[in-house]
Amino acid sequence: MLEQDILIREARPEDVQTLLEFQQGVVTWERQYDPTIAKDPVSYYDIKKLMSNGQAILLIAEVDGRPIGCGIGMEKEARHYLDHKTYAYLGLMYVDPEFRGKGVNAKIIEKLKDWAQVKGLKEIRLTVYENNLSAIRAYEKMGFKKHISEMRIQ
């Protein structure tokens, strides 16, 4: 597979089941980093609602018509004390294990960055578990920098 073989497109209603499955892939992967994730069923995002939300975009990555990854961009309100009112939040970043390390996530992020630019959103954020080193490296390659850490105690 070559990078030009990867098509990034907006999700369609018939992609809902695929997005739900990819979401479970994210949940399953993230359980190793977060023991506080509730028992199944867990849903991070209301996929159907986001599809009809003018403040969000859902993308599908595919090769030869086969969905292999996804990502979501959402316009969110910033905290009142920041210098921007809204920002783009990226989530549900998923790539089928067979296609990881082949530039799929980078292509999804580029499309989400384009979407944010069209929306006039200069600030782009995402969250990643501190121990998810492969994801951190991938995001850093795309220009993201560590910004804040969330800490917890039991």
Domains delineated in the chain: 3-141 (3.40.630.30)
User: Is 1 a residue whose pLDDT tops 90?
Assistant: no
Q: Is residue 94 within 8 Å of residue 47, measured between CB atoms?
A: no
pLDDT tens digits for range 85-140? 999 999 999 999 999 999 999 999 999 999 999 999 999 999 999 999 999 999 99
Give the span between the Cα atoms of 122 and 109, in whole angstroms. Answer: 14
What's the mean pLDDT when you consider all of the chain?
95
> Which residue in the block uniquely carries the two structure tokens 């599809």?
51
- Measured between its terminal Cα atoms, the distance across the chain in Å is 46
Shortest CA distance to 91 belongs to which of 37, 36, 55, 44? 44
